[in-house]
Each structure stands twice: as structure tokens, then as C-alpha cells.
Amino acid sequence: MSVPSTARVVIIGGGIVGVSTLYHLAKFGWSDCVLLEKNELTAGSTWHAAGNCPNFAMSFGVMNMQRYGLELYRGLVDEVDYPINYHVTGSVRLAHSHERMMEFEHAATMGRHMGLEMDVCTPDQLLEHYPFMETHDLEGGLWDPLDGDIDPAQVTQALAKGARAMGAKILRFTPASGVSRENGEWIVHTEKGDIRCEFVVNAAGYYAPRVGEWFIPHGGRPVPAAVMSHQYFLTEPVPEIAAWSEKHGRKLPLLRDVDSSYYLRQETTGFNLGPYERNCQAAWVRPDDPMPDDFSFQLYPDDLDRLEWYIEDAMARVPLLGTQGVSRNINGPIPYAPDGLPMIGPMPGVPNAFEAHTFTFGIAQGGGAGKVAAEWIVNGQTEWDMWCCDPRRYTDYTDKDYCIDKAMEVYGHEYAMHFPHHSWPAGRDRKKSALHDKMLELGGQMGTYNGWERANWFAKPGDDTSEEATQTWKRSGPWEPRIREECEAVRDSVGVLDLPGFSRFSLSGEGAAEWLRGRITGALPKVGRLNLAYFADDRGRILTEMSVIRHDEDVFTLITAAAAQWHDFEVLKFNLVDGLELVDRTLDLSTLIVSGPKSRELFEKIADADLSLGWLTHQEAKVAGKEAMLVRVSFAGELGWEVHASFKDMPLIYETILEAGARPFGMYALNALRLEKGYRTWKGDLSTDYSLLEGGLDRFVKLDKPQDFPGKSALMNERQQGSKKRFVTLLVDAGDCDAPYMAAILQGGDLVGEVTSGGWGYRVNASIALGMVRADLAEPGTELEVEIYGKLCKATVQADAPLWDPENARIRA
């Protein structure tokens, strides 16, 4: 097939994800699309993939993506008339501990939101599903009836056939060699000719960093990924397995011993064992072992010694595994992002370029990934909020060493539980505030926020600060009395929190105010003041939230969450009009939060400022003799100010604040304080899964203003028709654990909503859950239940006001 001179979209990479993206673009009616593959389809990680297909994931977005993909696969044979060996066998996941059982309970709850039925099992019930294992040391497990395995090459070829039938083109043995940009269009270069296109997609698997280099001159960045060596081996036939399959007419379920870190499944009439070993091996990381230009259909040499412990453990669990020898070993490359999740979405910094790569579980996720990638390209937004996979979640701290260190950590803890108070140790100290050493001196237990180190809580001598202490779902731990003390200090006196990494952008130029009015759903502040502003997508859903500080008629500072830095900058940048200047000033200043009823007294001692200015004002001032901007606002819900000053001046300012009587507090305390005020967090309570009206943000929506902001017509329609969901604050009889994200909200056993964030409020002395419920249940006093790790807990809807200081009298004091 000849290379066309033009196309609407060019996809680089012919693994399952690239082909699925092409298929879904064609489904949207975009048939003028081309996929380029330098070898044969599936030549990268796809061809040697094991092909396991779980629904299970502890990320709600990833679970939704996998659920969709497996549904697609189950109907694909009939749709495209292509044979696929797809065995829906079900699977058991084993739990060695009560903590693991709690994780399984929550996974089953998340599955219920999307119509999946996963059953939490006793050891005896596990044996009914899988009779060949030892269960004497197990707490129980999880049964997923829709798990199984699929032939990776066949499902990719089936998607390819479907894409071709709808008019899309696949060019095999046609490697892309680079890109250039001309007149707002991309030109993708190949040895067989150039293709001019509107959009380009990097779906190059473990070669994605190589392809990503082509986009750096166009505003891109090095792709944050590493390659891991993953092995699995196949055994000779096992007579007992053959007999069981013949009797039952199906394969054994897939078994995962997640605490030991391996999967075991039936392969023909033998076994397939795939460990994720702690003593893992990154690939192509040394100067003397570079990534080859072409590794198509190739493997690494066997290295079974690395797997010895896992093999012995698996044989003890399923003794039949040890009765036969190894018939074949597969040791191949798998790409890993620093958090183990793929990258799907806009390429950071580059217009009309997208990414769909770095899939650790590409077969299970490929079907849904193609849908998500195609939605990004066609609609500029996705059906489900997919921030968990958005490439912009990483910014400038992901150097090569970081990516390797994190890939090794994630691979070696592939099945690890992600406890709420646990911080992973690899890849730390990439971004440190000017107060970092001081935080450590004060006992700060650090966490990372967009690469920035911040204190989560402050330990005292004798507190258990070990990593082991954090491996619990419970609220209690050495941190709890310290969080309480920190919250009480903010409530009764004054506290100070070091907050480096606030994303901040300056916007200026004639017409900047009017341009902003046309982008946000509400109003702008007056000069000298600030307010919250919300950006909606075309559906009226919550795209992002920014604090807008107005310095002059057309001069603004926009402040947003640390994690939102690249995302929110692009929300502004790619819609900017000529004559306006937008600059990322995140590294220019740092921030302190000083909050509590005695904060005014503190500043009277150390600041040259007008402390009578009211709530939501800002001023240039001197603090400890240093230039600063004082902003009268408090995410903690008490009288307070934010201090914005240069990094070099922060050590003196902070020391002066401490000497004036403030107590340090951390991010855990801030989270507790904001919950009591009902303040939302980005990509928790605020996401594109909900509209602004559903999110209870009505006061920030001005439908009568003349500007036709994005989402206006959708919000007008929703206001007329009524919202299906509403945001609520719940008080929960929660016991030892607070409600996690996506905990189910129930009434009479029926699923009626979900928790978006939860935690303990130390000022109101209660467990709080923020969430979404069916609109008719949002009335104060409505009694519901929240399922917290399998336990049903009574919950009561509260009035639409903060739990703490509902009149905001303390903030306005």
C-alpha cells in the first residue's frame, strides 16, 4: 500500500493500543486515519504479552477502561468476523492478611459502580473456584467471574480488520522517522514519503521516548518512562489439569497470589507462571546496553534465577505446578511509567499531538485505551475523567534516574496496597522548598506533590516513623495524635504550613479580563481582590478550579493545585488570543499558609501591612522585613493569610513566624480542616465526571452573563431539566476507617452515589465524607449508608453549609 500524502490522524505504533485507537477513530467516523508500524503489527510488547484480562484495578478510571475493553473483546469476534482465542475463566485473588481483604472489599465496591460483580470469598469458597491450591494460611480472596486471558496477536488483528473495514489505513513495514510542523499541520516523515495531518499520536510502546524526542523542538518534553524485563514461563502438560478441563469443559480460573506477587494460569493443559519479583531488572539503562533501533519480535536471555523464590512459593501454593518441567520461558520488555499507569491524552506542551503508550497491562487496557485516546482526539474530552492516565500528571521532575527508580519500585510492588498514609520511598527529593531542611529538623514526615516535598505531619521524638507503621487502612497511627494537635493549634491559636509548588500563572494584556470572562463560568474579582473561578468543558463538567487574583484591570495571577500545573497552563495557553501574555511563574515564589484566630496578632508583630483589609483581599506588604504578597484567604477555614514570597526570603520569614508563636502543621491536617469546610479538591471532588451544578457550585455559575463560556448551553439545559446528582456532605458513623474515594453510598441496599473524599474532622470530632448522591436524596437529614471496606456505616446528609463555622464568621473576623 502506498503512503498517502494526507490524513486526518497519523498513529505511530502498531501494538494493540495504536490499533485500538485507529479502530475507535474509525468508529467515530474518522476513517481518514493512518497507522504506521515499522515491522509487523504486534512486534513490540504486544506479541509476547501473556494476555491476562482482569477487570480489577484500584484506580477507578483504569477499572472503567478495562471493564469497557473486556466487554468490547467479548463481542469482537462476531462484530468483525475474526477468530480470537478468548477464555473468560474467572479469577481468584488471594489474601494473606485482613488488610488485603479490606482492599478487595473496596475493589468490589468500585466494580459495583460500573455493573461488575466481584465476590469477596472465604478460603473454602476459593476452593470451590480453584480446587488445586493450599488455603491453610489465607484470610480469603476475591472472585471476578469475567477475568480471563486472550490471544494478544489475534485481538490486535481483529481490531485491525475492523478498522480497515471502516476505511482506516494500516501501513506495515513503514517506520516513521520524524515529524515537522508547517502552517498549523503536522508532517510525519517516512522513507516512503511524508504524510501531512491534523493530529499525530505517539503509540510507540517502549519506543515512545524515542518518538517523543521528535516533539521536543515543538514544545514537548522527554517522555517519562523506563523499560522493565518481565518473565513468565510455561510448563509441560499437567495430566490433572487436562482431566479437570475435560470434565468441566473449560480452563481453570486464573490465580493471583498478590501478596507473594505472581499470577498463575492454565496454558493449554499446563501452567503459565508470571512473577513480579522484587529483585527486578530494568532494561537498556546502561551506556553499554542502549536500546536497539529495532527489537521487533525479540526477547532477552532467560534469567530464571531471579524468579527462584516466587517459583518455590507458587509450587507450595499449587503443588501441581512442581510436577512438570518448564517448556518455554519468555523474557521481554515492558514499558513502565513512574506510577505504573499508562499515558493517554494530550502530549504536554504540543498542540494537536497525543500520547497512548507506556502500558504495563496493554492487552487488558488496550480496548478501553483506544476509546479514551479517540475521544481525546475527536471531542477534546473523554467520557470518564481519566486524570489517572493523563500525560500532564508528570511535569519537569521526571528525569531518567527518577523514571528508572520508580519503575523498579512499581514493578517490584506491582500488587502492593496503596495505603492512605504511606509514601513510597523511591524518586524522592526532586523538588525541595527553601525550608526543606527545616521541615526535617522539626520532624516533618514528607510526601510528594507534583514532585515537591511537603510535610504531611510533624512527628515528635519517640513517634514511630517507620514505613511499616503506615501500612494500614485505619485512621489511627502515630500520625493521628499529631494531626489532632496540629488542627487544634490552627483552631485555637495559629499554625503555619509550608506550601511550595503552588501552580501560579501571570496573565496580562489588553482585554485579558474580557477573555477570562469568556472562559470561566462566573464573575471576576474587582481590582485588589480575589475569588475562585471554575472552568467547564463543553458538557458543563468541572474542568478545573483556579484562584483569580486581580492586580489591575487586565493584570491577573492565577493560582491552582500543584498537580494541575501543566494541565491548567494548557487550559489557558491553547485558548489564548493574540495580545495576551501568559507566563508560568510557579518557580518564582513559594507560599506559606498562616491560619488561626491569633494570626492577626502574629502579623501585627512581624508585618508592615494593613491587617484590617477584609476576606478575599490581597496586598503588597513586608513580612519579617521581606517583600511579600499577603492574601486574605484560608483553605483551613480560620482567620488567616497566605504569604507569597521569593524562595530566598522564605527561611527568614518562616523562622520569624515560628518565633512569633505559630505551630507547624502539615498536609494531613490541612486535608482534615478543609473537609470540615466542605472545600473541594481537584480531581477528587472536582472532576469531569460531574457538572458544576451537580458539584454544588451553583454560586460560581452566572448563566445570565453575556459571555458564551464553554459549557454554558449544557448548564442552562441542566438547570431547566434538573440535575441527576447533587454534592453532599455526610457525617458517617465510620469506626476505625474513614470513607475512601469511590466508596459506595447506599439506601436500602441500592447504590445511590459515591464518596469523592473522606476523613476525620478534628474540630467537629466526626468522620466526614464528601460525595455525590441521587438528587432527591440530597435533603439534609436523609439517612444513607456508606460502605467502607466492606462495612456498612450509617451516614446522614448535612445542610448545604460548612460543618465548621457555617456562617464563616471566623474567617471574616
When mean pLDDT is compared across 289-293, 471-475, 738-742, the lowest value belongs to 289-293
The answer to whether the CB of 649 falls within 8 A of the CB of 639 is no
Assign 3-class secondary structure to 643-702.
EEECHHHHHHHHHHHHHCCCEECCHHHHHHHHHHHCCCCECCCECCCCECCCCCCHHHCC
* Dist CA 678 CA 691 (whole Å): 17
Find all residues with CB under 8 Å of 184, minimum gap 6, and list them: none
Q: What pLDDT sits at residue 1? A: 74
What average pLDDT does this structure show over 699-708? Answer: 98
**Could you tell me the three cell numbers for 49?**
504479552
Average pLDDT over residues 46-58: 97
Sign of CA dihedral 551, 555, 556, 557: negative
Q: Give just the sign of the alpha carbon dihedral 693, 697, 699, 701.
A: negative
Stated length of the chain: 813
Residue 749 in contact with residue 659, Cβ under 8 Å? no
pTM over 0.85? The answer is yes
Residue 134 has pLDDT above 90, yes or no: yes
Q: How confident is the model at residue 416 (pLDDT cuts 50, 70, 90)?
A: very high
Q: Tell me the average pLDDT across 473-494.
A: 98
Q: Is the pLDDT of residue 157 over 80?
A: yes
pLDDT by residue (tens digit) across 328-380?
A: 999 999 999 999 999 999 999 999 999 999 999 999 999 999 999 999 999 99
Question: Is the pLDDT confidence value at 175 over 80?
Answer: yes
Question: 41, 170 in Cβ contact below 8 A?
Answer: yes
Per-residue model confidence (pLDDT) at position 37: 98
Q: pLDDT tens across 584-628, in order? A: 999 999 999 999 999 999 999 999 999 999 999 999 999 999 999
**Secondary structure (3-state) at 378:** helix
What pLDDT shows up at residue 677? 98
For residue 62, what are the CA distances in angstroms to 65, 172, 334?
5, 30, 18
If we measure between CA atoms, which residue out of 754, 732, 633, 596 comes closest to residue 675?
732
Number of Cβ within 10 Å of residue 474's Cβ equals 16
CA separation, residue 366 to residues 56, 355, 561 (Å): 15, 13, 30
Q: How confident is the model over 769-787, as a mean pLDDT?
A: 98
* Amino acid 91: pLDDT: 98
pLDDT of residue 206: 97
How many Å apart are CA 629 and CA 618, to the nearest integer? 7
* One-character DSSP codes across 385-412: --GGG-GGG--TT--HHHHHHHHHHHHH
Backbone angles phi, psi at 622, to 5 degrees: -120, 130
pLDDT at 579: 97
Nearest to 42 by CA among 203, 242, 215: 203
The two beta strands, 783-788 and 744-747, are antiparallel
Percent of the chain with pLDDT over 90: 99
Whether the CB-CB separation of 647 and 589 falls below 8 Å is answered with yes
Handedness of CA 737, 741, 743, 746 (dihedral sign): positive
Helix, coil or strand: residue 756 = strand
The whole-number average pLDDT for the span 198-212 is 98
**pLDDT-derived band at 647, boundaries 50, 70, 90:** very high
Residue 154 has pLDDT above 90, yes or no: yes
Q: What is the mean pLDDT of residues 520-535?
A: 98
Q: How far apart are CA 568 and CA 110, in angstroms?
A: 28
DSSP string, 284-342: S-STTSPPPS--TT--PPP-GGGGHHHHHHHHHHSGGGGGS-EEEEEEEEEEE-TTS--
pLDDT at 809: 96
> pLDDT at position 635, please?
94
Angle in degrees, CA 748, 541, 389, rounded to 5: 90
Report residue 32's pLDDT band, with 50, 70 and 90 as the boundaries: very high
Whole-number pLDDT of residue 710: 98
* Residue 252 one-letter amino acid: L
| pLDDT tens profile 211-252 | 999 999 999 999 999 999 999 999 999 999 999 999 999 999
Q: By the 8 A CB rule, do 781 and 730 touch?
A: no
For all residues of the chain together, what is the average pLDDT? 97
Confidence band of 777 (pLDDT split at 50, 70, 90): very high
Q: Is residue 653's pLDDT more than 90? A: yes
Mean per-residue pLDDT, 677-691: 97
Beta bridge partners of 797: 730
